[in-house]
Structures are given as structure tokens and as C-alpha cells.
Amino acid sequence: MNTPTLVWSALRRRKARTLFTFLSVVVAFVLFSVLAAVRQGMLGQLTFSVAERLETNNKISQGSPLPVSYYDKIVTVPGVTAVTYLNGFQGYFKDPRDRLQVLVFSPTFLQVYREATLPPAQMHAWLTDRQGVIVGPALVRRMGWKVGETIPIQSKVPQKDGSTTWYFHLDGIYHADLPAAYQSFFVAHYRYFNEGVANPRLQNIVFQYIERITDPRDATAIASAIDGLFKNSSPQTLTQSEAAETISYIRQFGDVSAMVIYVGIAVFFSLLLIISNTLAQSVQERTAEFAILRGLGFERGWLARLVLQESLLLIVSGAVLGLALGYEVTRLLYPSVGNILQTFALTWGAAGLGILLSIVFALLAGLVPVQRITRLRVAEALRKS
């Protein structure tokens, strides 16, 4: 006979009620996991934004093209150490369901995105291979590719010879300590695409320039200098830091996400209030038992700790299961939302916060019952029972 036996026996007293309360906690924390993943999806990219990186877009509309000829001017701006540019097209490998985005960069890609690393031999192979591609490990696993393999990508973008199949050589697999969304890039050479694409309107254009700078404190001045170069050109450019760019992106759908999160929080706390009420009810039903325990010599503090342990066991174990299920749910949802919220995932930090929240809530939920116990008049409670 020990305290855990008493705690467990109290929870088994009304099994159906305990089960439903437990399930409510589980559901609340599944919801918490999804909300945390949405938040991470919105703000997570900021975490990986690199202060030494600037992005130059078409000033009129992000995503509209810029001439590739701007490169030669941008690279001369003082403080800029490397520049790469980006274009791309949609395609698929064998099965139309295995869609992927072919990103075509200048060979300076690895100088700008230093967080992506690969063995020197693979890097050399890619830099010297016009049809070369480096791919993220998650995509390699999903497609079952091997280094050295030739990969045919079907696309709606025809080549000059009329073919819509683009062949790439898998020269390397990059490594980056970044979330899942960053493990599936397919990085090919701009030159291969630009020289091969049939449509002249797709030639010699880029959708974005990305610059590496020496000192983030100079970011504003450098951005102004870059935009100043094209003040009298068409199109004009808008250069901003990667973080600022991410924030602009988030603002596009920020209000909707905020609403979803606020509604979710309201539902989450409503569920937890119901749980708190159930706990209070459970304790009230056992008033006579608590009076007996007091009569046997158990102190108020001991009984208060007993109730808090019940509350902790019920809520924290429910939270742990809810977070585990939530993790699986977010993994299942990722293919549907990952294209918008690239960092959509339940992070360890959020899971830790969930556990902490469950502990705080268990203690709060136990407050009312504990107060009832500490105010219990033993003689009166025994007489009423």
C-alpha cells in the first residue's frame, strides 16, 4: 500500500468518467499540437532566416521575372560577397503523383546557401556537370534514387527539341540541419534550363536574386544600393533581408491563421475547464473518504498532494499521449499544407511547452478541489456521510 496505489484507486473509482476525461485531455493536446504546428509553419522560417542573406524581387510583384543580366551589376555592389539567382519549373518523376519543383540556380548557389553542405567530390561533380543536380536526403529516400543515377523529369515545359522530359544526373546529396521542408529540394543548373527551354519568354529571366553579404548591419544600405542600380530600369527591384521577406510572406495569410489559432485556443481552454470541473466533482464525491483519512491522521497537505497527483497523472499522461498523436497528425497533414507552411511541424520546443502547460493546468485544475479539502470540517463531513 502506497500513495500511487491510492491515486490509481481514486482514478479507477469511476472508470467511464476517468476515461472520458482522459480522452478530453488527449483531444485538447492533439489540437494544441496542430495549432503549435501551424504557428511553427508561419514563424518557423524566421528561425532559419540568415541575417547575412538578402533577397531581390521584382518591385511590382514578387514572383514576376527579372532579367538575368542584373546579376553582373548586383555582384559589384560593395559588401556583397556572392550572388545566386533562381528559376524553376514543376515536374514529376515517373508517376504524376510524384511531383517535385525543379529549382535552377546559378553555380554560386552553395556560396550563398552555406547551410547546405555536401562532400567535396560531389560538389565538384555538380559544379562541372551542366545536367547535374543535388537533392535533399528526404526526396532521395522518397524516390529511391542513388548518386550517379540519371533522373528523367516529366514536365509541361518543352525543350527546344520538343521533348518535355528533362534529364538530370544525380551528382550529390546535400546535408542541412533544417526542418523536413528543407530536405526535399531538387537543385539543378540555371544554364541547363535556360539553354534548353523552348519558350523564348522563359529564357534569360530569373524570379529572384539572393545575395550573401559580409555584415548584416549593412543590410539596409546594401539593399538600397542594389535597388538604386535599377531605379531607372524596368522592372525595378525590391531588396530586403531574408527575415523581412519571410515576414511579408507570413502577412499574406496571417489574419486567417491568427483567427484559427484564437478559436483553437478558446476550444482548448474550454476543454480544460470541463476537465477541471470533472476533477472537482470527483473530489466532492469523496468528501467522506477524505474525512476518514483526516480522521486516521493524514494531514491536509498530504491530502492536497494526493489530489494534485491525481490531477497530474490524469492530465500530464493525457497530454503526453495527445502530443504523440498530435505529432503523427501533423506528419500526416504535412503533404497537404507543406507547400504553404513549409515548417509546419510539432517541434520539441512546442512539445515541451505542451508538457509544461499540462503540469501548470493540472495544478490549476487541482486548486479548487484542494481548497475544498483543506477547508474540510472532518466532524461535519463524517456526520453528513
Partner 1 sequence: MASVIAADSQNRALVSLRGVTKLYQRGSETVEVLKRLDLEVPRGDFLALMGPSGSGKTTLMNILGGLDRPSAGEVLVGGQPIHRLSERALSAWRARHIGFVFQTYHLLPLLTAAQNVELPLMLTRFKAAERRKRAQVALALVGMEAHAGQKPTELSGGQEQRVGIARAIVSDPTVLLCDEPTGDLDRTAGDEILELLQLLNREHGKTILMVTHDPHAAAKARRTLYMNKGVLGEKPEA
Answer for which of 9, 150, 165, 199 binds partner 1 (CB under 8 A) is: 9
CA-based nearest residue to 209, from 116, 104, 70: 70
Nearer to partner 1, 233 or 281 (CB): 281
C-beta of 281: minimal distance to partner 1 in Å?
17
Say how far apart CA 172 and CA 193 lie, in whole Å: 19
Query: Which of positions 280-319 make contact with partner 1 (CB under 8 A)?
Result: 288-289, 292-300
Nearer to partner 1, 328 or 380 (CB): 380
CA-based nearest residue to 174, from 184, 164, 163: 184
Please answer whether residues 20 and 316 qualify as being in contact, where contact means their C-beta atoms are separated by less than 8 angstroms.
Answer: no
The one-letter amino acid at 167: Y
Size of the site for partner 1 (CB under 8 A): 25
Nearer to partner 1, 146 or 375 (CB): 375
Say how far apart CA 246 and CA 302 lie, in whole Å: 52
CA-based nearest residue to 155, from 188, 130, 106, 182: 188
Please report whether residue 5 would count as binding partner 1 according to CB under 8 A: yes
Counting beta carbons within 10 angstroms of the beta carbon of residue 94, is it exposed (0 to 12), middle (13 to 18) or buried (19 or more)? exposed
How many residues does this entry show for the chain? Answer: 385
Say how far apart CA 361 and CA 159 lie, in whole Å: 61
Please report whether residue 373 would count as binding partner 1 according to CB under 8 A: no
Please answer whether residues 104 and 190 qualify as being in contact, where contact means their C-beta atoms are separated by less than 8 angstroms.
Answer: yes
C-beta of 7: minimal distance to partner 1 in Å?
11
Please report whether residue 375 would count as binding partner 1 according to CB under 8 A: no
Please report whether residue 17 would count as binding partner 1 according to CB under 8 A: no
C-beta of 317: minimal distance to partner 1 in Å?
19
DSSP one-letter code for 64: S
Please report whether residue 13 would count as binding partner 1 according to CB under 8 A: yes
Query: Which of positions 18-37 make contact with partner 1 (CB under 8 A)?
Result: none
Site string for partner 1, 159-188 (x = CB under 8 A): ------------------------------
Binding region for partner 1 (CB under 8 A): 1-3, 5-6, 9-10, 12-13, 288-289, 292-300, 378-379, 382-383, 385
